Structure 1
Amino acid sequence: MKIQQLRHFLAIAEAGTLSRAAQHCHISQPSMSASLRKLERDVGKSLFVRHAHGLTPTQSGRQLQQHAVRILQAVEAARVSLDDVPAELTGELNVGVTETISAYLLPRVLRWQKTMLPGLAIHYIEDSVDGMQAQVANARIDIGLMVTDNLSPTSALTCEALFTSPRNLWLAAGHPLLQQPRIVLADVAKYPFVLLEMDEHVRTWERYWGASAAKPEIVFRSHSIEAVRSMVGQKGGITILSDLVFRPWTLDGEHLSRRRLDDEVPGMDIGVIHSGDAMGTRQQAFVNMLRHNLKRDALLDQQS
Protein backbone atom coordinates (compact mmCIF):
# COMPACT_ATOMS: atom_id res chain seq x y z
CA MET A 1 0.00 0.00 0.00
CA LYS A 2 1.61 3.24 -1.18
CA ILE A 3 0.86 6.86 -0.32
CA GLN A 4 0.14 7.67 -3.97
CA GLN A 5 -2.32 4.78 -4.18
CA LEU A 6 -4.17 6.17 -1.16
CA ARG A 7 -4.32 9.60 -2.80
CA HIS A 8 -5.77 8.01 -5.94
CA PHE A 9 -8.22 5.94 -3.87
CA LEU A 10 -9.55 9.03 -2.06
CA ALA A 11 -9.89 10.89 -5.37
CA ILE A 12 -12.01 8.05 -6.77
CA ALA A 13 -14.14 7.89 -3.62
CA GLU A 14 -14.90 11.58 -3.85
CA ALA A 15 -15.28 11.88 -7.63
CA GLY A 16 -17.39 8.76 -8.04
CA THR A 17 -15.83 7.93 -11.42
CA LEU A 18 -12.37 6.94 -12.62
CA SER A 19 -12.35 9.61 -15.31
CA ARG A 20 -13.07 12.52 -12.95
CA ALA A 21 -10.59 11.19 -10.39
CA ALA A 22 -7.92 10.89 -13.08
CA GLN A 23 -8.52 14.48 -14.18
CA HIS A 24 -8.22 15.69 -10.59
CA CYS A 25 -4.93 13.82 -10.09
CA HIS A 26 -3.61 14.81 -13.54
CA ILE A 27 -3.03 11.22 -14.69
CA SER A 28 -4.62 9.06 -17.39
CA GLN A 29 -7.72 7.00 -16.70
CA PRO A 30 -5.88 3.69 -17.39
CA SER A 31 -3.23 4.71 -14.85
CA MET A 32 -5.93 5.49 -12.28
CA SER A 33 -7.62 2.16 -12.95
CA ALA A 34 -4.30 0.31 -12.58
CA SER A 35 -3.59 2.08 -9.28
CA LEU A 36 -6.97 1.01 -7.92
CA ARG A 37 -6.47 -2.62 -9.04
CA LYS A 38 -3.09 -2.77 -7.32
CA LEU A 39 -4.53 -1.35 -4.10
CA GLU A 40 -7.45 -3.81 -4.11
CA ARG A 41 -5.01 -6.70 -4.65
CA ASP A 42 -2.86 -5.40 -1.82
CA VAL A 43 -5.70 -5.20 0.72
CA GLY A 44 -7.47 -8.30 -0.63
CA LYS A 45 -10.83 -6.53 -0.74
CA SER A 46 -13.13 -4.93 -3.31
CA LEU A 47 -13.15 -1.24 -2.44
CA PHE A 48 -15.88 -0.06 -4.80
CA VAL A 49 -19.18 -1.28 -6.20
CA ARG A 50 -19.20 -0.69 -9.96
CA HIS A 51 -22.49 0.51 -11.46
CA ALA A 52 -23.68 2.25 -14.62
CA HIS A 53 -22.98 5.74 -13.32
CA GLY A 54 -19.64 5.18 -11.62
CA LEU A 55 -18.32 3.74 -8.38
CA THR A 56 -19.54 3.74 -4.78
CA PRO A 57 -17.32 2.64 -1.85
CA THR A 58 -18.06 -0.76 -0.35
CA GLN A 59 -18.07 -1.24 3.43
CA SER A 60 -14.35 -2.06 3.19
CA GLY A 61 -13.86 1.02 1.03
CA ARG A 62 -15.55 3.26 3.60
CA GLN A 63 -13.32 1.82 6.34
CA LEU A 64 -10.17 2.36 4.29
CA GLN A 65 -11.32 5.86 3.41
CA GLN A 66 -11.24 6.93 7.04
CA HIS A 67 -7.80 5.41 7.59
CA ALA A 68 -6.46 6.90 4.35
CA VAL A 69 -7.51 10.41 5.31
CA ARG A 70 -5.78 10.10 8.69
CA ILE A 71 -2.63 8.60 7.12
CA LEU A 72 -2.29 11.44 4.63
CA GLN A 73 -2.95 14.01 7.36
CA ALA A 74 -0.15 12.44 9.43
CA VAL A 75 2.21 12.55 6.43
CA GLU A 76 1.40 16.23 5.91
CA ALA A 77 1.89 16.97 9.62
CA ALA A 78 5.31 15.28 9.55
CA ARG A 79 6.35 17.34 6.53
CA VAL A 80 5.15 20.59 8.07
CA SER A 81 6.93 19.89 11.37
CA LEU A 82 10.32 19.85 9.61
CA ASP A 83 9.84 23.51 8.70
CA ASP A 84 8.73 24.67 12.15
CA VAL A 85 11.07 27.23 13.72
CA PRO A 86 10.12 28.11 17.33
CA ALA A 87 9.82 31.84 18.04
CA GLU A 88 11.50 33.14 21.20
CA LEU A 89 8.46 34.92 22.58
CA THR A 90 6.94 34.99 26.04
CA GLY A 91 3.88 36.63 27.58
CA GLU A 92 0.18 36.20 26.87
CA LEU A 93 -2.12 36.58 23.87
CA ASN A 94 -5.92 36.52 23.84
CA VAL A 95 -7.26 35.07 20.59
CA GLY A 96 -10.94 35.09 19.66
CA VAL A 97 -12.38 32.31 17.48
CA THR A 98 -15.81 31.77 15.93
CA GLU A 99 -17.76 28.48 15.92
CA THR A 100 -16.40 27.19 12.61
CA ILE A 101 -12.83 27.95 13.63
CA SER A 102 -13.30 26.22 17.01
CA ALA A 103 -14.60 23.05 15.40
CA TYR A 104 -12.41 22.71 12.32
CA LEU A 105 -9.29 24.87 12.49
CA LEU A 106 -8.50 25.29 16.19
CA PRO A 107 -7.19 21.70 16.67
CA ARG A 108 -4.57 22.39 13.98
CA VAL A 109 -3.71 25.78 15.47
CA LEU A 110 -3.12 24.21 18.89
CA ARG A 111 -0.63 21.75 17.38
CA TRP A 112 1.20 24.49 15.49
CA GLN A 113 1.35 26.67 18.60
CA LYS A 114 3.10 24.00 20.66
CA THR A 115 6.03 23.82 18.27
CA MET A 116 6.25 27.37 16.92
CA LEU A 117 5.15 29.54 19.86
CA PRO A 118 6.01 27.36 22.88
CA GLY A 119 6.77 30.26 25.24
CA LEU A 120 3.61 32.23 24.49
CA ALA A 121 0.55 31.61 26.68
CA ILE A 122 -2.37 31.81 24.23
CA HIS A 123 -5.92 32.00 25.58
CA TYR A 124 -8.76 31.22 23.15
CA ILE A 125 -12.24 32.75 23.52
CA GLU A 126 -15.17 31.67 21.35
CA ASP A 127 -17.70 34.30 20.27
CA SER A 128 -20.00 35.24 17.40
CA VAL A 129 -18.75 37.35 14.50
CA ASP A 130 -20.44 40.49 15.86
CA GLY A 131 -19.29 39.75 19.40
CA MET A 132 -15.74 39.19 18.20
CA GLN A 133 -15.61 42.57 16.49
CA ALA A 134 -16.82 44.29 19.66
CA GLN A 135 -14.28 42.47 21.87
CA VAL A 136 -11.37 43.27 19.56
CA ALA A 137 -12.44 46.91 19.23
CA ASN A 138 -12.64 47.20 23.03
CA ALA A 139 -9.23 45.51 23.51
CA ARG A 140 -10.68 42.57 25.45
CA ILE A 141 -9.29 40.30 22.72
CA ASP A 142 -5.95 40.92 21.02
CA ILE A 143 -6.80 39.30 17.69
CA GLY A 144 -9.77 37.47 16.19
CA LEU A 145 -9.52 34.38 13.93
CA MET A 146 -12.82 34.09 12.12
CA VAL A 147 -15.04 33.65 9.08
CA THR A 148 -14.90 37.02 7.30
CA ASP A 149 -17.43 36.38 4.48
CA ASN A 150 -19.73 39.27 5.34
CA LEU A 151 -17.49 41.41 7.50
CA SER A 152 -18.28 45.12 7.23
CA PRO A 153 -15.20 47.37 7.22
CA THR A 154 -14.84 49.74 10.18
CA SER A 155 -12.34 52.45 11.00
CA ALA A 156 -11.54 50.75 14.33
CA LEU A 157 -10.67 47.31 12.93
CA THR A 158 -8.30 45.93 10.32
CA CYS A 159 -9.02 42.63 8.56
CA GLU A 160 -6.27 40.51 6.99
CA ALA A 161 -7.22 37.57 4.75
CA LEU A 162 -5.61 34.17 5.32
CA PHE A 163 -7.30 31.88 2.79
CA THR A 164 -10.56 31.08 1.04
CA SER A 165 -12.14 27.64 1.29
CA PRO A 166 -14.28 26.86 -1.80
CA ARG A 167 -17.95 26.05 -1.30
CA ASN A 168 -19.17 22.94 -3.09
CA LEU A 169 -22.28 20.79 -3.27
CA TRP A 170 -22.47 17.88 -0.79
CA LEU A 171 -24.52 14.81 -1.71
CA ALA A 172 -25.06 11.23 -0.58
CA ALA A 173 -23.74 8.32 -2.63
CA GLY A 174 -26.06 7.50 -5.53
CA HIS A 175 -27.77 10.91 -5.63
CA PRO A 176 -29.26 11.65 -9.11
CA LEU A 177 -27.26 14.88 -9.46
CA LEU A 178 -24.03 12.87 -9.46
CA GLN A 179 -24.97 11.60 -12.90
CA GLN A 180 -24.97 15.09 -14.43
CA PRO A 181 -21.81 16.38 -16.14
CA ARG A 182 -22.47 19.91 -14.79
CA ILE A 183 -24.61 21.19 -11.92
CA VAL A 184 -26.06 24.69 -11.48
CA LEU A 185 -28.09 26.24 -8.65
CA ALA A 186 -31.34 25.66 -10.56
CA ASP A 187 -30.58 21.92 -10.41
CA VAL A 188 -29.88 22.11 -6.67
CA ALA A 189 -33.19 23.94 -6.08
CA LYS A 190 -35.14 20.86 -7.24
CA TYR A 191 -34.07 18.88 -4.16
CA PRO A 192 -34.62 19.28 -0.38
CA PHE A 193 -31.89 21.45 1.17
CA VAL A 194 -30.21 21.17 4.57
CA LEU A 195 -29.02 24.53 5.96
CA LEU A 196 -26.15 25.00 8.40
CA GLU A 197 -26.78 28.02 10.64
CA MET A 198 -23.28 28.24 12.14
CA ASP A 199 -21.34 31.54 11.88
CA GLU A 200 -21.92 33.41 8.61
CA HIS A 201 -23.33 30.50 6.58
CA VAL A 202 -26.93 31.81 6.52
CA ARG A 203 -26.02 35.32 5.41
CA THR A 204 -23.78 33.94 2.67
CA TRP A 205 -26.50 31.44 1.65
CA GLU A 206 -28.95 34.34 1.27
CA ARG A 207 -26.38 36.28 -0.77
CA TYR A 208 -25.78 33.73 -3.50
CA TRP A 209 -29.34 32.38 -3.63
CA GLY A 210 -30.65 35.96 -3.82
CA ALA A 211 -29.32 36.20 -7.37
CA SER A 212 -31.00 32.95 -8.43
CA ALA A 213 -34.56 32.73 -9.76
CA ALA A 214 -35.05 29.32 -8.15
CA LYS A 215 -34.84 28.66 -4.40
CA PRO A 216 -34.58 25.27 -2.68
CA GLU A 217 -36.96 24.07 0.01
CA ILE A 218 -35.15 24.02 3.35
CA VAL A 219 -36.17 20.83 5.14
CA PHE A 220 -33.75 21.01 8.08
CA ARG A 221 -31.79 23.74 9.87
CA SER A 222 -29.07 23.14 12.43
CA HIS A 223 -26.09 24.73 14.17
CA SER A 224 -24.45 21.29 14.16
CA ILE A 225 -22.30 20.41 11.18
CA GLU A 226 -22.46 16.74 12.20
CA ALA A 227 -26.27 16.85 12.11
CA VAL A 228 -26.15 18.41 8.63
CA ARG A 229 -23.59 15.86 7.49
CA SER A 230 -25.73 12.97 8.78
CA MET A 231 -28.89 14.33 7.16
CA VAL A 232 -27.12 14.53 3.81
CA GLY A 233 -25.57 11.07 4.25
CA GLN A 234 -29.01 9.58 5.00
CA LYS A 235 -30.39 11.19 1.79
CA GLY A 236 -32.56 13.61 3.74
CA GLY A 237 -31.33 16.52 1.63
CA ILE A 238 -28.32 18.14 0.01
CA THR A 239 -26.28 21.15 1.06
CA ILE A 240 -23.60 23.60 -0.08
CA LEU A 241 -20.70 24.02 2.33
CA SER A 242 -17.00 24.79 2.29
CA ASP A 243 -14.13 22.35 1.86
CA LEU A 244 -12.84 23.40 5.30
CA VAL A 245 -15.63 21.48 7.04
CA PHE A 246 -15.93 18.62 4.54
CA ARG A 247 -15.33 15.01 5.55
CA PRO A 248 -16.31 12.18 3.17
CA TRP A 249 -18.22 10.16 5.77
CA THR A 250 -20.78 10.71 8.52
CA LEU A 251 -20.47 9.58 12.13
CA ASP A 252 -22.46 6.47 11.11
CA GLY A 253 -20.08 5.77 8.22
CA GLU A 254 -22.35 6.93 5.37
CA HIS A 255 -20.42 8.13 2.31
CA LEU A 256 -20.57 11.76 1.10
CA SER A 257 -19.46 13.22 -2.23
CA ARG A 258 -18.60 16.77 -3.28
CA ARG A 259 -19.32 18.37 -6.64
CA ARG A 260 -18.25 21.72 -8.02
CA LEU A 261 -21.10 24.00 -9.08
CA ASP A 262 -21.00 25.72 -12.44
CA ASP A 263 -22.79 28.76 -11.01
CA GLU A 264 -20.71 31.22 -9.02
CA VAL A 265 -20.87 30.48 -5.31
CA PRO A 266 -18.60 32.48 -2.97
CA GLY A 267 -15.99 30.61 -0.97
CA MET A 268 -15.71 30.84 2.80
CA ASP A 269 -13.17 33.51 3.70
CA ILE A 270 -11.02 33.00 6.78
CA GLY A 271 -8.99 35.87 8.20
CA VAL A 272 -7.92 37.74 11.30
CA ILE A 273 -9.07 41.08 12.68
CA HIS A 274 -7.19 43.41 14.98
CA SER A 275 -7.52 46.99 16.15
CA GLY A 276 -5.47 49.77 14.60
CA ASP A 277 -3.35 49.63 11.47
CA ALA A 278 -0.41 47.61 12.78
CA MET A 279 -0.20 44.48 14.92
CA GLY A 280 1.98 44.04 17.98
CA THR A 281 4.86 41.56 18.09
CA ARG A 282 2.81 38.72 19.62
CA GLN A 283 -0.11 39.26 17.25
CA GLN A 284 2.21 39.28 14.23
CA ALA A 285 3.96 36.11 15.42
CA PHE A 286 0.58 34.38 15.70
CA VAL A 287 -0.42 35.43 12.18
CA ASN A 288 2.99 34.43 10.81
CA MET A 289 2.50 30.99 12.37
CA LEU A 290 -0.89 30.65 10.67
CA ARG A 291 0.41 31.70 7.25
CA HIS A 292 3.49 29.46 7.56
CA ASN A 293 1.41 26.37 8.21
CA LEU A 294 -1.58 27.10 6.00
CA LYS A 295 0.63 27.40 2.94
CA ARG A 296 1.74 23.81 3.54
CA ASP A 297 -1.55 22.48 4.78
CA ALA A 298 -4.13 20.42 2.91
CA LEU A 299 -6.69 23.20 3.43
CA LEU A 300 -4.97 25.23 0.74
CA ASP A 301 -4.18 22.17 -1.40
CA GLN A 302 -7.95 21.72 -1.85
CA GLN A 303 -8.05 24.95 -3.85
CA SER A 304 -5.62 23.77 -6.54
Structure 2
Amino acid sequence: MAELARQLAELAGNSPVQLLADPFPEPVAIRLFLKRDDLLHPQVSGNKWRKLTYNLLAAQQRGLKTLLTFGGAYSNHLYATAAAGQVFGFTTIGIVRGEELANRPRNPTLQFCEACGMQLHFVSRVEYRRKDEPPFIKALINRFGPCYVLPEGGTNELAVRGTAEIIPELRAQLGYMPDYVCCPVGTGGTVMGLIRSATPATTVLGFLALNAPTFQLPFVDPLPENFRLQTGYSFGGYAKTTPALLEFIRTFERKTGIRIEQVYTGKMLYGIYELARQGYFPAGATVVAVHTGGLQGRSSELD
Protein backbone atom coordinates (compact mmCIF):
# COMPACT_ATOMS: atom_id res chain seq x y z
CA MET A 1 0.00 0.00 0.00
CA ALA A 2 2.93 2.33 0.68
CA GLU A 3 3.96 2.14 -2.99
CA LEU A 4 0.47 3.04 -4.21
CA ALA A 5 0.30 5.91 -1.72
CA ARG A 6 3.63 7.17 -3.04
CA GLN A 7 2.42 6.97 -6.64
CA LEU A 8 -0.80 8.80 -5.79
CA ALA A 9 1.14 11.56 -4.06
CA GLU A 10 3.62 11.92 -6.92
CA LEU A 11 1.03 11.95 -9.69
CA ALA A 12 -1.31 14.43 -8.05
CA GLY A 13 -0.78 17.84 -9.59
CA ASN A 14 -1.25 21.16 -7.88
CA SER A 15 -4.71 22.62 -7.34
CA PRO A 16 -4.00 26.34 -7.05
CA VAL A 17 -6.52 28.99 -6.11
CA GLN A 18 -6.82 31.56 -8.90
CA LEU A 19 -8.34 35.02 -8.52
CA LEU A 20 -10.72 35.80 -11.38
CA ALA A 21 -10.75 39.56 -11.80
CA ASP A 22 -13.51 39.92 -14.40
CA PRO A 23 -14.87 36.50 -15.45
CA PHE A 24 -18.55 37.22 -16.07
CA PRO A 25 -20.57 38.97 -18.78
CA GLU A 26 -21.09 41.88 -16.38
CA PRO A 27 -19.06 42.94 -13.32
CA VAL A 28 -20.33 41.75 -9.94
CA ALA A 29 -19.43 42.94 -6.44
CA ILE A 30 -17.64 39.82 -5.18
CA ARG A 31 -14.04 38.58 -5.10
CA LEU A 32 -14.21 35.29 -6.97
CA PHE A 33 -11.51 32.63 -6.73
CA LEU A 34 -11.43 29.35 -8.65
CA LYS A 35 -10.04 26.25 -6.94
CA ARG A 36 -8.35 24.50 -9.86
CA ASP A 37 -9.03 20.84 -9.10
CA ASP A 38 -9.20 20.33 -12.86
CA LEU A 39 -5.38 20.38 -12.76
CA LEU A 40 -4.97 17.46 -10.34
CA HIS A 41 -4.56 14.84 -13.09
CA PRO A 42 -5.05 14.89 -16.88
CA GLN A 43 -7.66 12.08 -16.85
CA VAL A 44 -8.56 11.44 -13.21
CA SER A 45 -9.24 15.11 -12.63
CA GLY A 46 -11.13 17.21 -10.16
CA ASN A 47 -13.36 15.72 -7.52
CA LYS A 48 -12.94 12.25 -9.07
CA TRP A 49 -9.27 12.19 -8.06
CA ARG A 50 -10.19 13.13 -4.52
CA LYS A 51 -13.03 10.59 -4.38
CA LEU A 52 -10.92 7.73 -5.72
CA THR A 53 -7.67 8.23 -3.79
CA TYR A 54 -8.63 6.61 -0.47
CA ASN A 55 -10.80 4.02 -2.21
CA LEU A 56 -7.83 2.83 -4.27
CA LEU A 57 -5.77 2.51 -1.11
CA ALA A 58 -8.60 0.57 0.57
CA ALA A 59 -8.91 -1.78 -2.41
CA GLN A 60 -5.20 -2.56 -2.31
CA GLN A 61 -5.26 -3.00 1.46
CA ARG A 62 -8.00 -5.63 1.04
CA GLY A 63 -6.02 -7.40 -1.66
CA LEU A 64 -8.60 -6.63 -4.36
CA LYS A 65 -7.25 -5.98 -7.84
CA THR A 66 -10.56 -5.31 -9.62
CA LEU A 67 -12.72 -2.18 -9.34
CA LEU A 68 -16.40 -2.49 -10.21
CA THR A 69 -18.59 0.58 -10.48
CA PHE A 70 -21.70 2.09 -12.06
CA GLY A 71 -22.60 4.95 -14.37
CA GLY A 72 -24.45 6.26 -17.37
CA ALA A 73 -23.06 6.52 -20.87
CA TYR A 74 -21.55 9.95 -20.20
CA SER A 75 -20.35 9.27 -16.66
CA ASN A 76 -17.32 11.24 -15.49
CA HIS A 77 -16.94 8.65 -12.77
CA LEU A 78 -16.69 5.71 -15.20
CA TYR A 79 -14.15 7.69 -17.20
CA ALA A 80 -12.05 8.49 -14.13
CA THR A 81 -12.23 4.96 -12.73
CA ALA A 82 -11.11 3.49 -16.05
CA ALA A 83 -8.18 5.93 -16.19
CA ALA A 84 -7.22 5.23 -12.58
CA GLY A 85 -7.30 1.50 -13.23
CA GLN A 86 -4.96 1.85 -16.16
CA VAL A 87 -2.56 4.15 -14.28
CA PHE A 88 -2.44 2.16 -11.03
CA GLY A 89 -2.80 -1.40 -12.32
CA PHE A 90 -6.40 -2.29 -11.41
CA THR A 91 -8.77 -4.27 -13.60
CA THR A 92 -11.97 -2.23 -14.06
CA ILE A 93 -15.57 -3.20 -14.75
CA GLY A 94 -18.27 -0.65 -15.56
CA ILE A 95 -21.97 -1.43 -15.12
CA VAL A 96 -23.62 0.92 -17.62
CA ARG A 97 -27.23 2.08 -17.52
CA GLY A 98 -29.09 1.19 -20.76
CA GLU A 99 -28.88 -2.30 -22.26
CA GLU A 100 -29.85 -0.84 -25.65
CA LEU A 101 -26.39 0.79 -25.80
CA ALA A 102 -24.57 -2.54 -25.96
CA ASN A 103 -24.76 -2.82 -29.75
CA ARG A 104 -24.54 0.86 -30.59
CA PRO A 105 -21.38 2.78 -31.50
CA ARG A 106 -19.58 3.91 -28.36
CA ASN A 107 -19.62 7.59 -27.46
CA PRO A 108 -16.25 9.23 -26.61
CA THR A 109 -16.62 8.53 -22.88
CA LEU A 110 -17.25 4.81 -23.34
CA GLN A 111 -14.61 4.60 -26.06
CA PHE A 112 -12.09 5.97 -23.60
CA CYS A 113 -13.20 3.56 -20.89
CA GLU A 114 -12.69 0.56 -23.18
CA ALA A 115 -9.38 1.95 -24.43
CA CYS A 116 -8.22 1.97 -20.80
CA GLY A 117 -9.20 -1.68 -20.49
CA MET A 118 -12.52 -1.29 -18.69
CA GLN A 119 -14.97 -4.13 -19.32
CA LEU A 120 -18.40 -2.62 -19.94
CA HIS A 121 -21.52 -4.51 -18.92
CA PHE A 122 -24.81 -2.96 -20.04
CA VAL A 123 -27.97 -3.47 -17.99
CA SER A 124 -31.56 -2.33 -18.32
CA ARG A 125 -32.71 0.76 -16.49
CA VAL A 126 -34.83 -1.45 -14.24
CA GLU A 127 -31.79 -3.52 -13.29
CA TYR A 128 -29.67 -0.42 -12.86
CA ARG A 129 -32.03 0.95 -10.22
CA ARG A 130 -31.01 -2.03 -8.09
CA LYS A 131 -27.36 -0.94 -8.06
CA ASP A 132 -27.34 -0.32 -4.30
CA GLU A 133 -29.18 -3.52 -3.33
CA PRO A 134 -26.95 -6.14 -1.64
CA PRO A 135 -28.43 -9.11 -3.60
CA PHE A 136 -27.74 -7.34 -6.91
CA ILE A 137 -24.18 -6.50 -5.88
CA LYS A 138 -23.63 -10.07 -4.67
CA ALA A 139 -24.80 -11.41 -8.04
CA LEU A 140 -22.29 -9.12 -9.80
CA ILE A 141 -19.45 -10.33 -7.56
CA ASN A 142 -20.45 -13.93 -8.21
CA ARG A 143 -20.31 -13.22 -11.94
CA PHE A 144 -17.11 -11.17 -12.12
CA GLY A 145 -15.21 -12.47 -9.11
CA PRO A 146 -13.83 -10.66 -6.06
CA CYS A 147 -13.84 -6.93 -6.60
CA TYR A 148 -13.92 -3.59 -4.82
CA VAL A 149 -17.34 -2.05 -5.45
CA LEU A 150 -17.58 1.70 -5.91
CA PRO A 151 -21.05 3.28 -5.89
CA GLU A 152 -22.41 5.42 -8.71
CA GLY A 153 -20.52 8.70 -8.79
CA GLY A 154 -17.91 7.26 -6.44
CA THR A 155 -19.56 8.75 -3.36
CA ASN A 156 -18.93 6.88 -0.12
CA GLU A 157 -17.30 7.70 3.22
CA LEU A 158 -13.78 7.35 1.81
CA ALA A 159 -14.68 9.68 -1.06
CA VAL A 160 -15.92 12.28 1.42
CA ARG A 161 -12.66 11.91 3.33
CA GLY A 162 -10.87 12.90 0.14
CA THR A 163 -13.08 15.86 -0.73
CA ALA A 164 -12.92 17.11 2.87
CA GLU A 165 -9.26 17.99 2.18
CA ILE A 166 -10.31 20.89 -0.06
CA ILE A 167 -11.13 23.23 2.84
CA PRO A 168 -7.76 22.87 4.66
CA GLU A 169 -6.01 23.46 1.33
CA LEU A 170 -8.01 26.65 0.79
CA ARG A 171 -7.18 27.90 4.26
CA ALA A 172 -3.47 27.32 3.64
CA GLN A 173 -3.53 28.86 0.16
CA LEU A 174 -5.55 31.97 0.99
CA GLY A 175 -4.28 32.47 4.52
CA TYR A 176 -7.87 32.81 5.74
CA MET A 177 -11.25 31.17 5.31
CA PRO A 178 -13.42 32.59 2.50
CA ASP A 179 -16.96 33.79 3.12
CA TYR A 180 -18.40 31.22 0.69
CA VAL A 181 -17.20 27.97 -0.88
CA CYS A 182 -19.24 26.68 -3.83
CA CYS A 183 -19.28 23.41 -5.75
CA PRO A 184 -21.54 21.57 -8.19
CA VAL A 185 -23.64 18.72 -6.78
CA GLY A 186 -24.28 15.41 -8.54
CA THR A 187 -24.26 12.58 -6.01
CA GLY A 188 -23.24 14.94 -3.20
CA GLY A 189 -19.85 13.52 -2.25
CA THR A 190 -17.87 16.70 -2.85
CA VAL A 191 -20.23 19.05 -1.07
CA MET A 192 -20.42 16.65 1.88
CA GLY A 193 -16.65 16.90 2.23
CA LEU A 194 -16.86 20.69 2.21
CA ILE A 195 -19.65 20.65 4.80
CA ARG A 196 -17.68 18.42 7.14
CA SER A 197 -14.54 20.53 7.12
CA ALA A 198 -15.86 24.09 6.74
CA THR A 199 -15.87 26.38 9.75
CA PRO A 200 -19.20 27.95 10.81
CA ALA A 201 -18.06 31.32 9.44
CA THR A 202 -17.90 29.94 5.88
CA THR A 203 -21.12 29.24 4.00
CA VAL A 204 -21.06 26.18 1.73
CA LEU A 205 -23.18 26.52 -1.40
CA GLY A 206 -24.02 23.45 -3.47
CA PHE A 207 -25.41 23.90 -6.99
CA LEU A 208 -27.53 20.91 -7.97
CA ALA A 209 -26.68 19.83 -11.54
CA LEU A 210 -29.78 17.66 -11.99
CA ASN A 211 -33.51 18.19 -11.81
CA ALA A 212 -34.33 16.27 -8.62
CA PRO A 213 -37.00 17.89 -6.43
CA THR A 214 -36.56 15.24 -3.72
CA PHE A 215 -32.75 15.19 -3.80
CA GLN A 216 -31.08 14.36 -0.50
CA LEU A 217 -27.42 14.46 0.34
CA PRO A 218 -25.73 11.12 1.11
CA PHE A 219 -25.31 9.85 4.64
CA VAL A 220 -27.24 11.03 7.66
CA ASP A 221 -25.14 13.91 8.90
CA PRO A 222 -27.26 16.71 10.35
CA LEU A 223 -26.84 19.57 7.90
CA PRO A 224 -25.30 22.67 9.44
CA GLU A 225 -26.82 26.12 9.29
CA ASN A 226 -24.01 27.32 7.03
CA PHE A 227 -25.03 25.03 4.13
CA ARG A 228 -27.36 26.01 1.30
CA LEU A 229 -28.42 23.87 -1.68
CA GLN A 230 -29.22 25.85 -4.81
CA THR A 231 -31.69 23.94 -7.00
CA GLY A 232 -32.53 26.52 -9.66
CA TYR A 233 -29.56 26.06 -12.00
CA SER A 234 -29.92 22.55 -13.44
CA PHE A 235 -30.99 23.91 -16.85
CA GLY A 236 -33.58 21.19 -17.26
CA GLY A 237 -31.71 18.25 -15.77
CA TYR A 238 -28.48 16.30 -15.70
CA ALA A 239 -26.26 16.95 -18.75
CA LYS A 240 -28.95 19.20 -20.24
CA THR A 241 -28.14 22.70 -21.38
CA THR A 242 -29.55 25.81 -23.01
CA PRO A 243 -28.20 28.40 -25.46
CA ALA A 244 -27.93 30.87 -22.56
CA LEU A 245 -25.71 28.52 -20.56
CA LEU A 246 -23.48 27.77 -23.55
CA GLU A 247 -23.07 31.46 -24.31
CA PHE A 248 -22.23 32.17 -20.68
CA ILE A 249 -19.52 29.47 -20.77
CA ARG A 250 -18.05 30.88 -24.00
CA THR A 251 -17.87 34.32 -22.41
CA PHE A 252 -16.25 32.93 -19.25
CA GLU A 253 -13.65 31.00 -21.24
CA ARG A 254 -12.88 33.97 -23.45
CA LYS A 255 -12.37 36.29 -20.48
CA THR A 256 -10.40 33.89 -18.27
CA GLY A 257 -8.70 31.43 -20.61
CA ILE A 258 -9.97 28.58 -18.41
CA ARG A 259 -11.88 25.71 -19.98
CA ILE A 260 -15.00 24.50 -18.20
CA GLU A 261 -17.88 22.20 -19.13
CA GLN A 262 -21.65 22.51 -19.18
CA VAL A 263 -22.59 19.54 -16.98
CA TYR A 264 -21.24 20.70 -13.60
CA THR A 265 -18.83 23.61 -13.29
CA GLY A 266 -20.51 25.76 -15.93
CA LYS A 267 -23.87 25.50 -14.18
CA MET A 268 -22.32 26.37 -10.81
CA LEU A 269 -20.55 29.46 -12.18
CA TYR A 270 -23.72 30.61 -13.92
CA GLY A 271 -25.53 30.25 -10.60
CA ILE A 272 -22.88 32.26 -8.75
CA TYR A 273 -23.13 35.01 -11.39
CA GLU A 274 -26.91 35.17 -11.16
CA LEU A 275 -26.92 35.16 -7.35
CA ALA A 276 -24.32 37.93 -7.31
CA ARG A 277 -26.43 40.01 -9.69
CA GLN A 278 -29.42 39.52 -7.38
CA GLY A 279 -27.47 40.78 -4.34
CA TYR A 280 -27.30 37.38 -2.64
CA PHE A 281 -23.69 37.91 -1.58
CA PRO A 282 -22.63 40.91 0.54
CA ALA A 283 -20.58 43.41 -1.43
CA GLY A 284 -16.92 42.44 -1.44
CA ALA A 285 -17.55 38.89 -0.21
CA THR A 286 -14.84 36.34 -0.94
CA VAL A 287 -16.32 33.44 -2.91
CA VAL A 288 -14.38 30.31 -3.89
CA ALA A 289 -15.77 28.09 -6.64
CA VAL A 290 -14.40 24.54 -7.00
CA HIS A 291 -13.63 23.53 -10.59
CA THR A 292 -14.48 19.82 -10.48
CA GLY A 293 -12.86 18.88 -13.79
CA GLY A 294 -14.77 16.54 -16.09
CA LEU A 295 -13.58 18.30 -19.23
CA GLN A 296 -13.94 15.13 -21.30
CA GLY A 297 -17.69 15.80 -21.08
CA ARG A 298 -17.36 19.27 -22.57
CA SER A 299 -19.85 19.87 -25.38
CA SER A 300 -18.51 20.20 -28.92
CA GLU A 301 -20.90 23.15 -29.26
CA LEU A 302 -18.49 25.14 -27.09
CA ASP A 303 -15.64 24.84 -29.62
**TM-score, L = length of structure 2:** 0.30
Which protein has the larger Cα radius of gyration, Structure 1 or Structure 2? 1
TM-score, normalization: structure 1? 0.30
Structure with more strand by fraction: 1
